[in-house]
Structure 1
Amino acid sequence: MTSMTVTRRSLLLGATAAFTLGTAARAATPTGPQLLHITRDPSCGCCTAWADLAREAGYMVEITETDDYAGMKAEAGVPEPLWACHTARVGGYIVEGHVPFAAIARLLAERPDITGIAVPGMPLDSPGMGGGLHATADVVAWGGLAGDATPFAF
């Protein structure tokens, strides 16, 4: 017969591993966690908060900093009325601003024929703007079948 002793340390390590695996699975693909590449102004604190939430949601986060705000938006093809503080790329899509992570998950699951999704401006209580991981905001889609901008409900 085998005897097993459970210590607080082994219980804590097991719980930590389960939490980490569960968190990473939320943004995972069959080959592993999704890469979310964020381009942002180096002095923007709310962009850092959104990036931290993206990590918490299970994304692998890569950040590029630039002082060329308009160039960042133009390079990504974001229509000016949809501009926000940071621009991200994930799974072949553009994600502009403080987009809720549930909307990104839906985007990646459904893979619609659009260029990207956005939360224009910097709305209070959106993810990274005072809202946490599960915060919501009005999201719009653009490009492809969405045209200039249409609601992207989730």
Structure 2
Amino acid sequence: MNRRRFLAGSGAAFAIATMPAFAAPAAETMIVHYDPGCGCCSAWVGHMREAGFAVETRATSQINRIKARLGVPPGLASCHTAEIAGYVVEGHVPAEAVTRLLRERPDATGISVPGMPIGSPGMEVPGMEDDAYAVVLFEGSRSESFARYRGVARTDP
């Protein structure tokens, strides 16, 4: 299996190589922080539950403070922030990308879909063409492409 290393020299090679793969997405509960005034967040939560994730939601008027506490760079922010297995999942990330994150266990803070791309999970708009967008792996101010999608369909190999 190809294991990704995000930060060179992290010493995580042994831990990643010996860590068991997740048998199912619901192995840990995902906690989703969201602004109660946002409607698309519940649609994304539905997408995650349909994919087999156990999800707990927490409405908050302090979403930006939570993003800052969890290390989400402002340029990668979206409308909701989730936590699972020590990772941050920011925005309308497809369940497939979260499953991959949990399987590969890269040395990173988390993944993000910046903004709110049309067609991403929770942002489906009938009659509008789906946007192409990237899922970004991040750690501090460093980031790199983790996967590319159009709607919920992955476009990279």
Displacement after TM superposition at 1:91 (Å) = 1.2
For residues 70 and 132 of structure 2, the distance between their equivalents in structure 1, rounded to whole angstroms, comes to 24
- CA RMSD between the two structures: 2.0
Q: For the residues of structure 2 that align with 1:140 and 1:38, how far apart are their CA atoms? A: 18
Unmatched segments (≥5 aa) in structure 2: 1-22, 126-130, 148-155
Taking the aligned partners of 1:122 and 1:77, their CA distance within structure 2 comes to 19
SS in 1 for 2:44: helix
Give the Cα–Cα distance (whole angstroms) in 2 for the partners of residues 77 and 26 of structure 1. Answer: 26
Mapping 1:1-154, distance limit 5 Å: 26-28=24-26, 33-130=27-124, 137-143=133-139, 148-153=142-147
TM-score by length of 2: 0.71
Alignment gaps of 5+ in structure 1: 1-24
Distance in 2 of aligned mates of 1:82 and 1:114:
14
Separation of aligned partners in 2, 1:108 and 1:136: 23
Q: Residue 33 of structure 2 contacts residue 63 of structure 2 at CA under 8 Å; is this kept in 1?
A: no
Q: TM-score if structure 1 supplies the norm length?
A: 0.72
How far residue 38 of structure 1 moved from its aligned partner, in angstroms, is 0.2
- For 2:97 and 2:69, how far apart are their aligned partners in 1? 23
Point out the structure with max Rg over C-alpha. Answer: 1
Equivalent pairs counted in the alignment come to 121
Q: Which has the higher strand share?
A: 2
Contact kept, 8 Å, 1:127 with 1:136, in 2: the verdict is no
1:125 and 1:52 mapped to 2: Cα distance? Answer: 15
Runs (4+) of structure 1 moved beyond 4 Å? none
Tell me which of the two structures has the higher relative contact order, counting C-alpha pairs closer than 8 angstroms and 6 or more residues apart: 2
